[in-house]
């Protein structure tokens, strides 16, 4: 409290035991919290899914780490690491002096992508579309942010592990304006190779809620990002 009184313009990020101390009392005194010391994007998907039950993206510290995680040894693409960090307070925890020209350019694209969507990500309503698991481990996560006026949405579908079904999933998006028509486009993630045949769809909010959109098959530990904009 004394630090806040003396330095009201300083932004404070709480980091106690790598995310072990996150509660509403801490948030009264800080601008954001460090969600976990584990920066592995696969682990972070589940960690951030749980943390988002209490925390909005704007206060949830989420950084793009190096290709090989220092906590687990896993190797992930920049697209997967970036998609994971996008739905938080994005930062970079990676030795940028070690990057080649291509990686540096892709990282710059990712930062620009976050800046483009930050008003929506940090000002909208968080939504989740995961099925009831009945005690089973999730093989995918689907979540997003809707603008308050429901004219825009940003939705991620992330494949955590190989699923039981050979058929790609259908993603239903309840909660949009049922009478508006939305244009659905795939947001290209830096370095990603996933192509989706449904790009450019125009569907009503009612169709999106009832029928949804057919997704492509993902490899494990990869994902895609969809942008929805309502027509006039």
pLDDT in tens, 8-31: 999 988 886 555 678 888 888 889
CATH 2.60.40.1180 domain span(s) along the chain: 125-230
CATH 3.20.20.70 domain span(s) along the chain: 2-123
Among 93, 89, 138, 132, residue whose Cα is nearest residue 114: 89
| Contact between residue 79 and residue 192 where contact means Cβ atoms under 8 Å apart | yes
Two tokens, residue 41: 């994007």
pTM comes to 0.92
Residue with tokens 């942008």: 227
CATH of domain 125-230: 2.60.40.1180
- Cα dihedral value 18, 24, 29, 35, nearest 10: 20
2-123 CATH, one of 3.40.50.970, 3.20.20.70, 3.50.50.60, 3.90.470.10:
3.20.20.70
Q: What is the pLDDT of residue 76?
A: 97
- Bridge-based pairing of strands 222-230 and 89-92 is unpaired
User: If you count them, how many residues does the chain have?
Assistant: 232
Q: For every one of its 232 residues, what pLDDT tens digit does the chain have, with 9 covering 90 and above?
A: 899 899 999 998 888 655 567 888 888 888 999 999 899 999 999 999 989 988 999 999 999 999 999 999 999 999 999 999 999 999 999 999 999 999 999 999 999 999 999 999 999 999 999 765 655 678 999 999 999 999 999 999 999 998 888 788 899 999 999 999 999 999 999 988 777 877 679 999 999 999 999 999 889 999 999 999 999 7
Strand order in the sheet with 13-14: 13-14, 32-34, 60-64, 89-92
Distance of CA 85 to the CA centre of its chain: 6
């Amino acid at each position: 409290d004394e630090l806040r009184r003396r330095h009201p313009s300083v932004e404070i990020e709480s980091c106690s035991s790598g995310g072990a101390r996150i509660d509403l009392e801490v948030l009264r005194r800080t601008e954001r919290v460090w969600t976990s010391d584990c920066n592995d994007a696969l682990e972070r998907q589940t960690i951030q899914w749980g943390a988002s039950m209490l925390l909005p993206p704007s206060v949830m510290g989420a950084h793009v780490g190096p290709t090989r995680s220092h906590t687990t040894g896993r190797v992930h693409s920049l697209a997967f690491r970036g998609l994971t960090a996008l739905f938080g307070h994005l930062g970079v925890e990676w030795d940028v002096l070690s990057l080649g020209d291509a990686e540096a350019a892709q990282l710059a694209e990712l930062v620009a992508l976050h800046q483009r969507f930050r008003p929506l990500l940090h000002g909208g309503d968080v939504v989740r579309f995961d099925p009831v698991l009945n005690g089973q481990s999730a093989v995918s996560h689907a979540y997003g942010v809707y603008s308050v006026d429901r004219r825009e949405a940003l939705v991620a579908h992330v494949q955590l592990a190989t699923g039981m079904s050979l058929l790609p999933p259908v993603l239903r998006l309840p909660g949009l304006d049922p009478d508006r028509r939305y244009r659905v486009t795939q947001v290209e993630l830096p370095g990603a190779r996933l192509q989706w045949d449904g790009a450019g769809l125009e569907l009503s909010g009612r169709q999106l809620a009832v029928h949804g959109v057919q997704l492509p098959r993902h490899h494990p530990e990869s994902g895609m990002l969809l942008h929805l904009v309502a027509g006039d």
